[in-house]
Amino acid sequence: MSDKKAARTPGGNSWSIEDALDLYQIPAWGKGYFSINAAGHVVVRPDTTTDREIDLHEVVQGLLARDLRTPVVVRFSDILAHRLKRLHDAFAQAIAENEYRNRYAAVFPIKVNQQRLVVEEVFRYGKPYGFGLEVGSKPELLSVMAMTEGSPDRLIICNGFKDSSYIEAVILATKLGRTIIPVVENFAELALILRHAETYGVRPRIGVRVKLASEGSGRWRHSAGDRSKFGLFTTEILELVQVLRERDMLDCLQLVHCHPGSQLQDIRRVTEAINELAHVYAELRSLGAGLKYIDVGGGLGVDYDGSGTNFSSSMNYTLAEYASNVVYRIASVCNERGVEHPMIISESGRAIAAHHSLLIFDVLGCSAMDRFEVPPGDIPGPRQRDAPQPVRDLADAFRSVSPRRLVECYHDAQAARDQALQMFKLGLLSLQHRGLVERLYWATCTKIRDAARRLDEIPEELDELEAILSDTYFCNFSVFQSLPDSWAIDQLFPIVPVHRLNEQPARKAVLADITCDSDGKIDRFVSLRDTRRTLELHPLRKGEDYFLAVFLVGAYQETLGDLHNLFGDTHVAHIRLHDEGGWWIEEIVKGDTANKVLEYMEYDVAELYPALSRDCERAVRDGRMTLAESQALKRFYETELDGYTYLEP
């Protein structure tokens, strides 16, 4: 059956796979990498062709069969390879269209996902295009210096704050033969470069980060502008040129760089920044600098919500438009000024890594706000004197719900409940009556919501009822560990059930994680217009797993995650397409054990078990525990120390 064919839900309602694709907006944000098959399972199409797809539910079952329980991060290396190719192809096309007389290379900023396996794959798949790597700290530099063994021509761009030993390492790496460029981010770094270059007799390649004049817009707008943390003022750049000229080293100034901010939503921001940088390039060339590279930084966005708009979780341009804008701007400035076309570098991180990785977790249970029922016998009549007035008012609101009186009944119910709660606080209402008020109120709201759903147009005041009455699905993961940007900066990520998509999802829910933190929740979801406050999900079935997948999590989430409540790294699996069809698991990285996270926190893990064991033996000696009980506790403790930090139902 094709994607488009209708499926029958077990309930008999007509619900098609196309409805599910529509509801979760998969074609909009999936960019061809994700869809749904006839079985109602999410499928992954690593090279966006329909003939090579991987059934995600099958992958989850395959992992379970290997004792890898959810939560698990699943990385599709073939998507990573495809993203790199797409980036290369977009620039190749723009270069051809603009008759640009130089080439393009991306340098992957490894801070976007420093996991060794990811960086190694980017490095491997980027080889045919001559892509390089970007580092922003000493440890990042150390990892990249080793990785580029045998590939001295691959570019390494060094950004971030640099001390003397960072720069010494860069100079020595130059001597080793690496194509490495330290980017001067603040003026003091220049002296260090010159000193170490002289000590080791190296003619260094030097880059300079330009403080762009305009601040731009969006969440990362302060990456540029006068008050930005990085970059040299024009006066300092001119001073740098003067210093290099005096030392006869102007040819060493090889790269100009800017970083206009991450997740640029608006193409105008890209155009402005690149235009400004291209003029700086042309000016410096005319001052005699030996510039070869123009580095336009990061910022190429990811359309997380698929809306294609100037919204923080989206972008109002395509990859092709980005490449075309960058190349066209640089070409036109260079042509106008009669200077050579430089090699174009971008430090695109998010756009390379986001799509290839997704997080899958299981739902542990749910609580529904619309579950409250009031048997007719419990509902007080209008003249029932033993029920306090607000309780009778609430009962009246409950009875009166009708399509014409929805807003009025909602107001009456709210007012009656408020009065009842006031009376309770004054000691004038019993706990039994408070319980009845609770049930009556939520049952009234549910009645109103259900009636409103049948209207052609829902009155504005009742809009909130869907969110207020939504279920909470308790999910086996930590927002802080696996989706930190969802918590910290309200980043939206698409979330879709992995299976049962041939069934109409009958519930609306928000998600709560298993941390003991009220912030550990997701209550904003992607939508083409605005954001949605609830996610459509299927009712849970007893004894059956229900898996959800969060998509586009390959950038920034893994390394920014933290150990809140000591929930550690999740398991990771690298899934590859098989040449002969199907898929296989290339790598499994087991998640943190309790031992490991306790060790991070400076516990002497070797001492934990003996301490508990001593106490157990004392309890047996004193008769507080039987030997069997003590052994059970010791065994539990030992097993859990080596166990996964997440729930294993």
Ligand X SMILES: Cc1ncc(COP(=O)(O)O)c(C=O)c1O
Enumerate residues 6+ apart whose C-beta is below 8 A from 415: 393
Min separation Cβ 107 and ligand X, Å: 9
- Listed in sequence order, the residues at least 6 apart from 526 whose beta carbon sits closer than 8 Å to its beta carbon are 25, 29, 304, 305, 306, 313, 492, 493, 494, 495, 532
Cβ at position 302, least distance to ligand X in Å: 8
Rounded Cα–Cα distance for residues 310 and 216 (Å): 13
DSSP assignment letter at 340:
P
* Smallest separation, CB 300 to ligand X (Å): 5
Q: How far is the CB of 354 from ligand X (least distance, A)?
A: 8
Contact (CB, 8 A) for 112 and 352: yes
Interactions with ligand X, residue window 564-623 (CB under 6 A)? none
CB of 158 to ligand X, least distance (A): 11
User: Which helix (H) or strand (E) element contains residue 616?
Assistant: helix 605-621
Number of residues that bind ligand X (CB under 6 A): 16
Q: Which residue's entry shows tokens 């950004």?
A: 159
CA 281 vs CA 131, 155, 212, 325: distances in Å: 22, 19, 13, 17
d(CA 249, CA 499) in angstroms, rounded, equals 62
In the block, residue with structure tokens 């390394």: 559
CA 83/CA 80 separation, integer angstroms: 5
Indicate the residue among 253 and 258 with the shorter CB distance to ligand X: 258
User: Token pair for residue 229?
Assistant: 């943390």
Query: HEC profile for 549-578?
Result: EECCCCCCHHHHCCCHHHCCCCEEEEEEEC
Is position 265 an interface residue for ligand X (rule: CB under 6 A)?
no
Query: Of 400, 399, 401, 433, whose CA–CA distance to 417 is shortest?
Result: 433
Q: Which stretch binds ligand X (CB under 6 A): 341-349, 458-466, 470-478, 628-636?
A: 341-349
CB of residue 281 vs ligand X: minimum separation in angstroms? Answer: 17
State which of positions 231-260 bind ligand X (CB under 6 A). 259
298 binds ligand X (CB under 6 A): yes
> Which of 62-70, 163-171, 296-304, 607-615 is the region at the interface with ligand X (rule: CB under 6 A)?
296-304
Residue 353 or 360: which CB sits closer to ligand X?
Answer: 353
Q: How far apart, in whole angstroms, are the C-alpha atoms of residue 286 and residue 242? A: 14
DSSP category for residue 55:
E
Closer of 324 and 419 to ligand X (Cβ): 324
| Least Å from the CB of residue 220 to ligand X | 6
Among 115, 263, 444, 534, binds ligand X (CB under 6 A): 263
Out of 78, 189, 347, 513, the only residue in the binding site for ligand X (CB under 6 A) is 347
What is the smallest separation between the CB atom of 333 and ligand X, expressed in angstroms? 21
Site string for ligand X, 142-181 (x = CB under 6 A): -----------------x----------------------
Q: Is the peptide bond before 204 cis (omega within 30 degrees of 0)?
A: no
Residues 98, 254, 348, 486: which binds ligand X (CB under 6 A)? 348
Residues 89-118 that bind ligand X (CB under 6 A): 109, 112
* Shorter beta-carbon distance to ligand X: residue 346 or 470: 346
Closest CA to 567 of 583, 550, 591, 543: 591
Whether 561 and 553 have beta carbons less than 8 Å apart is answered as no
Smallest distance from ligand X to CB 255, Å: 13
Pick 211 or 500: Cβ nearer ligand X: 211
Backbone phi, then psi, for 254, in 5-degree steps?
-110, -15
* Min separation Cβ 83 and ligand X, Å: 12
Residue nearest to ligand X (CB): 298
Q: Which is nearer to ligand X, 159 or 570 (CB)?
A: 159
Residue found under tokens 């709201």: 445
Q: Is position 262 an interface residue for ligand X (rule: CB under 6 A)?
A: yes
| Nearest to ligand X of 237, 577 (CB atom) | 237
- The residue type of 144 is V
Nearer to ligand X, 135 or 429 (CB): 135
Closer of 224 and 616 to ligand X (Cβ): 224
Pick from 571, 568, 639, 566: which is nearest to 609 by CA? 639
Residues 344, 326: Cα–Cα separation, whole Å = 9
CB distance 148 to 156 below 8 Å: yes
300 binds ligand X (CB under 6 A): yes
Question: What binding mask, one character per residue, do residues 540-569 give for ligand X by CB under 6 A, x or -?
Answer: ---------------x--------------
Taking contact as CB under 6 A, which single stretch among the options 294-302, 326-334, 505-513, 526-534 is the one that binds ligand X? 294-302
CA distances from 420 to 393, 410, 446, 468, 503 (A): 10, 15, 19, 20, 41
Written as one letter, the residue type at 616 is C
Residue 561 beta carbon to ligand X: minimum distance, rounded to whole angstroms: 17
Asked if 300 and 252 touch (Cβ cutoff 8 Å), the reply is no
Phi, psi of 135 (to 5 degrees): -125, 155
Residue 555 or 598 with smaller CB distance to ligand X: 555
- Quick one: which of 342, 349, 388, 505 contacts ligand X (CB under 6 A)? 349
User: Which residue lies nearer to ligand X by CB, 301 or 388?
Assistant: 301
Output the smallest distance, CB 614 to ligand X, in A.
Answer: 50
Q: Catalog residues that contact ligand X under the rule CB under 6 A.
A: 109, 112, 159, 259, 262-263, 297-300, 347-351, 555
